[in-house]
A = this chain, B = another copy of it.
């Protein structure tokens, strides 16, 4: 449903209609110009050829130093979705299942479905403050479980896992010899201190992207930190599919990392103001929601709402949101992405509140 709304929104826009897009995690900010300049320089200097399937050494080395691993553990990919698709494909093509903590980002389930991978959901709920039930998690994992997929900070709740809870999850995974695939694409913009799953040891997979932190969604570049065996397999699959992320895009990403403190700081400040504004407006309604720990989302709940119908009705009023059903069994919820300027967010939220009355 997330993608139906998103494609429909793009179609309406291509017809010249003005939509307040609170539906998708695509920052309204332009990619910082230093990053664009770096790509242009690289193009002009001939970085337009085939290159290494695993990514450029310079970029891998830089990322390795950030995550305190070896460059061989880092594989450059065309966006984080590639990680979910390719790793599920590589680890589960011969059977097995994956456990997904919900609410989850839509792409995990869609990749699993297209690959025919069995998935099991562990549901967290607003009413228990999105707490993950460790005992239920333990019971859900069986001999055939290979992957546990989680997203921290979470899309759509913008909730960050408490350290103790994350530690418990890692313990269960290590106990049961299950690999955690941890999607941390919002972590560099988190409003609160957010540990990486990698900090707790074990054989975990980190998935990250340049999309959100640097407003580079359309550049299609992300990376994984994986063990060397999986790195080898991913490199081979890269070779057979997209060959390599364009080197000039990798050079742009390298520039982004150089400027990370400045860019991420500015982005975070923008999203913090937007989150405060949205919380203020929403707290005057009957919507229930958790205050976001991170950009870009709020995931309010409204008793007895059919969020799919609501989302399509709202699109007629030129506001796009995403129904909660895109993130698991959350029909009463909907997701608001704060990826528009404050004025538009205000206007969009007012229209949402009106529609709920």
Contact = CB atoms under 8 A, between A and B. Distances in A.
Number of copies: 2
Given A43-B36, A52-B7, A219 B240 contact: no
Interface in A81-100: 81-82, 85-86
A136 interface: no
A243 interface: yes
Contacts of A39: 39-40, 43
Given A40-B40, A57-B14, A218 B107 contact: no
Interface in A1-60: 3, 6-7, 10, 14, 24, 26, 30-31, 33, 36, 39-40, 43-44, 46-53, 57
Contact of A246 (B44, B219, B240): B219
A10 B46 CA distance: 15
B50 A31 contact: no
Contacts of A3: 239
Contact of A48 (B51, B215, B240, B243): B215
Interface in A132-168: none
A220 interface: yes
B40 A26 contact: no
A346 B248 CA distance: 31
A74 interface: no
A330 B97 CA distance: 42
Interface in A180-238: 215-220, 236-237
- The size class of the interface chain A forms with chain B is 35 or more
> Which of A36, A53, A215 has the most B CB atoms < 10 Å from its CB?
A36
Contacts of A340: none
Contact of A114 (B14, B47, B237, B245): B237
A30 to B, nearest CB: 5
A295 interface: no
Contacts of A107: 240
A247 interface: yes
Given A10-B52, A51-B218, A243 B79 contact: yes
A249 interface: yes
> Which of A33, A47, A52, A243 has the most B CB atoms < 10 Å from its CB?
A243
A110 B240 contact: yes
B242 A242 contact: yes
A111 B220 contact: no
A241 interface: yes
> Which of A30, A50, A57, A85 has the most B CB atoms < 10 Å from its CB?
A50
> Which of A40, A245, A246 has the most B CB atoms < 10 Å from its CB?
A246
Closest 9 CB pairs of A and B: A78-B242, A49-B218, A48-B218, A31-B48, A40-B40, A36-B43, A85-B241, A26-B50, A50-B217
